[in-house]
Structure 1
Amino acid sequence: MDQDTRIDLKNFTLEELTEFLAGMGKERFRAGQVMRWMYHRLVDDFDAMSDLSKVLRAELHQRARISRLTPEATEDSRDGTRKYLFRLEDGETIESVRIPMDDNRATLCISTQVGCAMGCVFCHTGSFGLVRNLTPGEIVNQVCAALADGPVNNIVLMGMGEPLHNLDNVVKALQILYMPQGLDYSPRKVTLSTAGLVPQMQELGKRVRVNLAVSLNATTDEVRNRLMPVNQRYPLQQLMAACRQYPLHAKKRITFEYILIRDVNDSDQDARRLVKLLHGIKAKVNIIPFNEHSASEFRAPTEERISRFQGYLLDHGMVAIRRASKGQDISAACGQLKGKLTVSPPAQESERNSARPDRSQGKGKHL
């Protein structure tokens, strides 16, 4: 099938769409009209935009299109977690996860790349390598698709890929998410997680407002080098300095994600080093016990170690939360559903959806 070469309006901010329509000789207010159809009403057909003239709709058909994502496969957990697999226009696939929260609220974890280049040893997505960056439209369309299943209250950029490795497209996607004519999310409701790309962290803080989460997972460079190769470029001293310089709004904290792994980073000494490492940073620590799986050498910490680790942080005045795992009866960690479907023929989709649980850790971020 020939690829549609018309301009995808989902990649435009309001300013860019205004400029595009001005180039067609159209009034500035038309951009807001089109935006509201795309994002407030989730319309992807120009013919449905009834407050546009037939002439304008015909011209838009000739020059532009509105992309969308439809799940190719989903998996539903007993706890209400839903995993989506989306196939992109070039045939590549990405994942998103809808996570039920308290009070009938939902958080959506979205991807920013096809694959990932960071190579974290506990992350299943890293086994695919980096294929390409997602466009702003592909990032935002994950949210649009999930909205078909009900409201999404919070968005976390913690799925496949390193968001700051795709900084320009991620910033533009955030701008679309925040625009009143777009999806109209408050920056307070959106969190971006990074493995620690220090220069991009500094640039992010200058360009857009977003809650920051840092995948930390170790208290020494030796251990973090082993778990996360990015640490060899930006070791802990540089990473902590960047966190101290990151612009935080009132009452906000940087979230530090810490996957607790038996006999690797779960000792009393690690807890003491973590308190010292985060001194002077408005921080919250999410403790994520490692989920064992056959492909990994790592093991889950004992309940006693988890309690001692968390207790030490709490006793020293830190905000430390044990992250509850959700979706464990489905392929909920990053890359699992993609991995299953990549090796399974389409005709076996029903068999895949009822497959036995896969408890690979994935990134350990959103679940």
Structure 2
Amino acid sequence: MEEPKFSVFDEVKLKAELERCGIKHLHAVAIQSYLLAHKDAEPHEVPDLPKAAYPLLRSHFKSTTSKLKVEHFSSDGTTVKLLIEMQNGQSVESVIMRHDATAGLYAGGPRQGSPRATLCVSSQVGCQMGCTFCATGTMGLKGNLSAGEIVEQLVHATRITPIRNIVFMGMGEPLNNYQAVVQAIKTMTGHCFSVSPSHITLSTVGVIPRILSLATDLPGVNLALSLHAPTQELRCQIVPAARAYNLVKLMAAVDSYIGASKRKVFIEYIMIGDVNDSEELAHQVGALLQDRQVVLNLIPYNPTLTKADYKASREESIHSFQKIIREVYNVRAIVRREMGQDIAGACGQLAIGEYKKDSSHPQKASTDLPDIEELFTASVRKP
């Protein structure tokens, strides 16, 4: 049986091994860049390296340790779900979401920009947080991804379409695989990929110690908090892992992050019918977020194979909830229009299963669909 090899996109490992062999680690970028541009090349085929690099690369490294097994396209062509198999046989899912920033209207006028794509990446195989609305939680935690395996999701996606934005909103809790995620993001923002830190968003259910260190470890990267309820009791029902982190202390950590990073925080709120979508709860959410530098993202619940008997909120309930947040508490609140629901690629739907198109949720292209970039930067859209 062949010994597992390291990914050349595991930058810390690659640089350490080069230096151990007396080779300057600056060659790491040249190796990564060449292999990114030459899909079928092997590490020992990279030209113009010191001679000592070739036996090292041949014996210890692979251009990618993972394989893209399936590309599953939504019916409108805007979304692609990727099934990626690791060298240990385990698999994760990533999602590419294409967005035409020139289509439709935004903030009362023409949209600015050009077509672009966002990649939703996974940080773990499965997840231990057990969010009751999320299919990934039904898998349990099967393992952490290495920094190289996280970056390789970007490698596979880049070979399909150029990627401008990256969101850590796929499988797993990123802050529970902290060092690998930090290393992966540093590679993504480095010379090979050159993704701007402001175009990367890291989502968490609220691992307080890591939130407090994030602004220092990853300056310029955006933070998203999966809130889903304005009280500790209700939040624990929806997000069982919330029992470990009191809501008051969690919001204090968010305040510390905002102060240290000088950046807004993205608040995610799954709208579940008759669970967390009442007008009374809207007032509580508004009071909790008022005077904080946040953007509230209301996400209609997507059908998943979980034990919870949930349903999506009615459109009128979502509109009422949003109106209260905006008009009474002056908090910026937007409603996410889901992409990839027909291929189980929308929020909360990622879990390894059969790749069959779900015709019960036909996908319709939208010309009024802000992406992650617009949510952080554009002015408030008028209701």
Which band: TM-score by shorter chain? 0.7 to 0.9
Aligned pairs (5 A) from 1:90-169: 90-102=88-100, 103-169=114-180
Cα distance between partner residues in 1 of 2:240 and 2:264: 25
- Normalised by the length of structure 2, the TM-score is 0.83
Structure 1 pair 329–213 and aligned structure 2 pair: CA distance change class (3 A): same
Aligned pairs (5 A) from 1:1-367: 2-13=1-12, 17-39=14-36, 44-52=41-49, 56-79=53-76, 80-102=78-100, 103-180=114-191, 182-209=192-219, 210-247=221-258, 252-292=263-303, 295=306, 296-315=308-327, 316-333=329-346, 336=349, 338-341=351-354, 352-354=355-357, 356-357=359-360
**Alpha-carbon distance, 1:40 to partner:** 5.7
RMSD: 2.5
Q: Check whether the contact 1:125–1:334 (CA below 8 A) recurs between aligned residues.
A: no
**Alpha-carbon distance, 1:335 to partner:** 7.4
Deviations 1:192-251 (A, max 9, x none): 000011111112222112100000000111110100112211121011000000046887
**Alpha-carbon distance, 1:71 to partner:** 2.0
Q: Check whether the contact 2:170–2:350 (CA below 8 A) recurs between aligned residues.
A: no
**Alpha-carbon distance, 1:356 to partner:** 4.1
Deviations 1:94-113 (A, max 9, x none): 00000111232110100000
Cα distance between partner residues in 1 of 2:245 and 2:155: 35
Structure 1 pair 91–294 and aligned structure 2 pair: CA distance change class (3 A): closer
- Structure 2 gaps, min length 5: 101-113, 363-371, 373-383
Cα distance between partner residues in 2 of 1:49 and 1:42: 12
**Alpha-carbon distance, 1:127 to partner:** 0.4
Size of the aligned set, in residue pairs, is 347
- Normalised by the length of structure 1, the TM-score is 0.87
**Alpha-carbon distance, 1:292 to partner:** 4.2
Does the residue aligned with 1:225 lie in a helix, a strand or coil?
helix
Letter in 2 for 1:117: Q
Cα distance between partner residues in 2 of 1:90 and 1:28: 28
